[in-house]
Amino acid sequence: MSRVRLLVATVTAVFTCLSSTLACSCVGGTTKDIYCRSDYAIAAKILSKTPISTNPWVHVYEYKFEVLENYKPSAELDAARQVIQATDADTLCGVLLSAGSNYLLMGYFSEDWKSDQSNQLVLATSSCNLNRELSSSAAVARTEAGHVMSFLNDGNFRCETRGSGNPSWRSIIERIVSRDLNANTEMK
């Protein structure tokens, strides 16, 4: 009987350690804090969603979008390929967006996960960033986003920090996806 208890306790401890090790962890903060840490802030309509990884454990999607409003203009945003890439893995702070929906999105610039586009920046986001679904009407979506971003109209508002760049889990995903995409290319 004591061996069974020991086995159950050991298995429970292992799973507890693994689940806490693989959990999403975000800095948090207010919308202003997230805005200041982000490289971009846009209201956008998601036009399409395409899987770009066939790895069974880490699904990565590419979302084509149309900008409704840009709340953080930059040369990088203008130069970036107009797609958002994100994983859906909860343990990696994943997020799922729906084609046809409008969102207020904040995130960071990243190298493209597609190996054939690796020299170009794309937009990336996670559940640690702001990803708020807005009204399906573009005009109403702009108004909703404008209310959330109204702090930008405060003459005293200043960011004490700039965009944070890539979160720590980014390199893990890149290795998994790169391996997955390279395996698919070799099979063709």
- Domain holding 99, by residue range, is 31-187
Instruction: Give the annotated binding-site residues.
Output: 24
**Please, how many CA atoms are within 13 Å of residue 8, restricted to the half-sphere of its CB?**
5
Confidence of residue 8 (pLDDT cuts 50, 70, 90): very low
pLDDT more than 90, % of the chain? 40
Q: Whole-prediction pTM value? A: 0.73
Identify whether 1 is part of a domain: no
* Model confidence pLDDT, tens digit, residues 61-112: 999 999 999 999 999 888 888 899 898 887 788 899 999 999 999 999 988 7
CATH of the domain at 81: 2.40.50.120
CA dihedral angle for residue 89, residue 94, residue 96, residue 97, rounded to 10 degrees: -160
Confidence of residue 116 (pLDDT cuts 50, 70, 90): low
Identify whether 69 is part of a domain: yes
Place of tokens 């203009």: 73
* Model confidence pLDDT, tens digit, residues 12-48: 444 444 444 457 888 778 999 999 999 999 999 999 9
Number of domains within the chain: 1
Confidence of residue 147 (pLDDT cuts 50, 70, 90): very high
Instruction: Give the annotated binding-site residues for Zn(2+).
Output: 24
Which tokens sit at 5?
Answer: 């208890």
Alpha carbon distance 169, 173 (integer Å): 7
